Structure 1
């Protein structure tokens, strides 16, 4: 019999089987990946060790050949016949012949030497023993190998017996070139450090490079030599094709490493293994580059096969899980769904009834008797025992108004989460019931434990701090918590709850996230408090006088005086201050002809939504500062108008000889000292300087644009004394008015 099941339930059981399949496939892929990475590293290391051994052997051979060249050179220096060529300016023919025979003997005894030069800077000839190319005595003009002369001219730049890679022509009548490594040995003893003699041994690159470029095993690779500057000396392919320059990334990475090693990088656009040796005694490095894909070709095949196997297992598993879910789990699915439905309905019904009962008990809407409590506990599954010692704990969400605006649709979900977290933590030590009171409040009913001393309260405080921390970390919600003292009377539940609610209002003074013990906030009667009318008057006077900082201090003192009293004292004081200060600020704005804002934050409705005195204080202080800013802006505008008026008067009366600071002050009926100070503060200039500057500008215009005499011009711009005008003009522009006019006539386009 086929049972019809819903698509959602079938998906549930498909997931059950798929979890096993996915774990299997994931394990296979992860283990294969780990093996692949390990095998790849082992393989790379093996190739590197092989490359390193091969390159190191080449290095040893090059060093051995260098030592042979050095030994040969020393022998030639000690050879009596050859030394005559080096130190005699014109040796006789017999010495020359004997020396050339000795050089050819050395040349023939070492087949890897291509040529030997003996150089005496005082002699007209260069002595050459060569298997190919020029041979014998050659003048410097006849010498085809001009590059060697350049090397000798700059011999200080080369270290003795460090191979110098060169290319030169073998014969003047041939285009054939020879690639050699030149070993230079020279004598430069003397005060002037000049070259006295030199022996040059040229070794063909075929001997040094005979192992460079040979592949490692069956893997195609390329090998190269770098000197201590990162320059490529040789290789088995042209340098340009690899672009292995001293500035290339591969060269930089090799040169930054002091020893031998390897790394994977890009060479000629291909991922490659680059192996390199440490610098040898010649400060050379030997490099081998092998394409990465040739090294890991077999491993890549294994990885691809593993992926295909994993995909196959996954596809087959999907098909099998789908078929089995239809056959095996359909009956179980129906039973489980039915049980879940019944359990959910019962749980939701009991939870709602239990919440409603506990809420009515706190609010005094349900009578508290032993029989009723016993029956209700049994019926609704309430774990809390009203006959034992108990406490009430009130949890309140901090910054509730912003939180409500952001999460209004999900408020019940967050409240339910807070109840669950609180119950879970508190139940570690107590019997706990939770109830949602509405708005920002949740209450915990806690049965106390019989712990001597204050151990019960210490444990409670520890758990309540854990609740605050957990809710903050998980829900990003700050809680203020108030707890009551112990009570063993069920009838004390309602008054105890009211005291806890009243004590929780002291969050105003303690701030968000506080922990309040209600018994610590039992204050004297309200009648004991006397509102300080005198301080209120000082506050008003400070605001009217614009002394904002003093007003802030007086406000803080008035608020602090309400702390030792019930919260109603603070509320009434705040209400009175709100009305008084609103009227004062309205009067200040009106008296100064400032715009009065349509909506003010200093309203009892707005302040009632705030939770701490710091927030309320910030609103008051912001209003104080706003008034101060408006008054300062108005004062600044008045000063701007004054500056503008002074500038207009200077421009209009610039030609008036009486124009000065005192004249302007008389005209606008103000103090000259005040005018001078305000003008200097706002323009960074004095009134006198501005008057003189404007007169000088007008003098320049009249000198360029008119033929008036200098005395007339001085009179027009306000100077009654022509000599004084001359001095002022030259002081400002460095020339006299007459010279300035001449310059303007000669160069009409030039401006002083």
Structure 2
């Protein structure tokens, strides 16, 4: 609905024009002012589409009002009316960008013609403004998409970076925050999360959504003490997430980055650090440059850590077991309640399991390793013997590899069957009787991609198949592919395929 401001010092005149507008069924919001000064004050503070003003009024005349009002709102449609019919007034009215000039007493047919023409001009302007806004919005979205795709390629190390390419934030050093949730989050709460990030960073940030579970936030990290500030920012963000969304998350923040060339290696280090999230039940903030072995929570039991190590050993992943062994010894040292005999017994049991996985190891080798463990005079010595033994053991090339392939194929079948459901790494790990830490490691090693990325890939391939073969609405396709939000689905589809679902379907129809 358009707004018309009627300006006349005679109330009877204003009432008459208001009555004409009502009788002619024009859908206009009518505002009145009794002189030019009050009208100009209103125009400067409020949007007005049509100004209909008398010429001769106290304080400020209609022509001066028209000139000042058109400066305040250049798109304003102005109608001048007066009992003065001289040509000079009409000419001056034209100089004020007036759309029309009406004489008193107002002729009803002439008034109807002028009003219809002015309202049509307003409608044409509104249509043009809407189209321009849509074009700008589309252009902006295109730029955002290109930026997101470029950032994704940079993170994954597939984007060639010019040596002189400067970081955002005026080229000053930056840091990355990898935000990870155990449950789906960003497909429902991405915009609200971005608002929280914008408030926390005072608008200085780059945000890249990776999938329903993860996003990466880049923030400036200037000067000395930057790492401390980034940790504080990460902790503040985690607190806001807990307070606003009632969710726990893991945030891994990176060392300081001085140029784009460092981003990919830094992100890979952050992903490795993220493996420690499985030992924390609640929200945790981790630094990718820390030795995290000492940060294992006290509630993690020795039995849990032993099971984690044995799972790596059972599948011949001795390098992966080493990380969990570091956690185990940190846990044992910190708690201090374990006897030397108990620690040596635990390590002997791990060695026994490792030797059983190798067909080429002799019983004598096992006995010698156990003797070295029990002869060690410190917990550090025990750990060194254990790690050395594992590094020297070669797993049997047959069964372990076949077992790993079987597990991965089982996981793939689960995803292909149930990708529409809310399946997460933890849920799938429970179905195949593995801990999430090992399953995450195994799936990425065997397939070259994370399990979360594979789930996203399956959902999008199903969506593309439905676009190819059905006339289903896009909102229904999104739901059928396992997405809770059709808008999030469209964004993810375009990021993955480089084209929106609607455009993809239009190309198919051609």
Is the shorter-chain TM-score for this pair beyond 0.5, marking a shared fold? no
Q: TM-score, normalised by structure 2?
A: 0.36
Q: TM-score, normalised by structure 1?
A: 0.25
Q: Which has the larger radius of gyration?
A: 1
Which structure has more relative contact order (CA 8 Å, sep 6+)? It is: 2
